[in-house]
Amino acid sequence: MITHAFSERRRRGDEVDAMSGRRPSLRTILIVAGLVVVGAVVARFVLRPRTAPLAILTETVERRDVAMTIEATGTVEPIDLVEVKSKASGQILAMPVEVGSHVQVGDLLAQIDTVDVENAYEQASAALRAAQAKNDISSAQNKRADDLFAQGVITADEHESATLDYANAQSALVSARTDLVTARQRRADATVRAPVVGTVLEQLVTVGQVIASATTSVSGGTALLTWPTCGASACACSSPRATSAASSRGRPRPSPSTRFPTVRSPGRSRRSSRRQ
């Protein structure tokens, strides 16, 4: 009752003050400002959009492998490196491959000048024809000498001479045949073809250069091309102490080549080492 009477008196006092034109007191301003602040706070919490409850993801605990990614700078080196040399010597007339060319077995790598080997082949072929004619004549003479010796017309020395001549003719014929086979092979060796499948890694000679034979030269011949085969490759790289222990033997990992970034060859880690 006392509070109600006080509030009623306060209200009447404010009405009298308003009717009399006086300004509201500081206390009245503070009360009104407090009510406004409280109303704003209440409205903010009431009108604020409600968010959905936070979903908590759960997973059953089980034993799994932890995947670790190791990044290191290194050089991919082929284990099997093919070095191509020519059995023929002479000037290179054509070389249709270059660094980065992918070759199959039998593809043309280089064409050597065939003038010398063609001449040698023609000479061997002519020598074979002459040896064949000599063998035929010696065979006929030996047969005739046998008949004459049986009749007692010629002596034993003459018969033996005819027999020896026929034997020498047979030996010359065999030698001429082998010389022709060798000349034919040397003529084929002037055309260098790929022995295995691979990608040209290094080109050591150019068109117009004179090369030495790998079979007749004391130095071992001139190397033409090198490339890795399509087998395994090794990566020599340096890794930090913390990550070197995570490299496991036999784990598959792609090995991009620096020279051919678009080609990714699958490989496996065979050995890891730390470099201080």
CA angle 172–214–197, rounded 5-degree value = 115
* Per-residue model confidence as pLDDT tens digits over 232-264: 555 555 554 444 434 444 444 444 444 444 444
- pLDDT for the residue 231: 53
- pLDDT for the residue 7: 53
- Top pLDDT among 192 and 58 is at 192
Averaged pLDDT for residues 177-188: 94
| Residues 6+ away with beta carbon under 8 Å from 248 | 269
Band (pLDDT 50/70/90 cuts) for residue 271 is very low
- pLDDT for the residue 249: 45
Length of the chain: 276
Give the percent of the chain with pLDDT over 90.
38
Tokens of 53: 């409850």
- pLDDT for the residue 47: 66
Q: Phi and psi dihedrals of 91, rounded to 5?
A: -90, 140
Task: Please give the model's pTM, rounded to 2 decimal places.
Answer: 0.55
- pLDDT for the residue 49: 63
- The rounded Cα 56 to chain-centroid distance in angstroms is 48
- pLDDT for the residue 63: 86
Instruction: Please state, rounded to an integer, the average pLDDT across all residues of the chain.
Output: 77
| Residues 6+ away with beta carbon under 8 Å from 91 | 112, 113, 208, 209, 210, 211
* Per-residue model confidence as pLDDT tens digits over 3-53: 444 455 555 555 545 444 556 677 777 787 888 777 777 777 666 666 666
* Per-residue model confidence as pLDDT tens digits over 61-111: 888 887 777 777 777 667 777 788 898 899 999 999 999 898 898 999 999
Averaged pLDDT for residues 110-119: 93
Integer Cα distance of 262 and 8 in angstroms: 91
- pLDDT for the residue 48: 65
- pLDDT for the residue 195: 84
Band (pLDDT 50/70/90 cuts) for residue 173 is very high
Band (pLDDT 50/70/90 cuts) for residue 1 is very low
- pLDDT for the residue 237: 59
Domains of the chain from N-terminus onward: 2-47 (no CATH), 114-189 (1.10.287)
Integer Cα distance of 194 and 225 in angstroms: 10
Band (pLDDT 50/70/90 cuts) for residue 266 is very low
- pLDDT for the residue 28: 78
Task: Decide if pLDDT at 274 tops 70.
Answer: no
CB 238 within 8 A of CB 204: no
CB 177 within 8 A of CB 128: yes
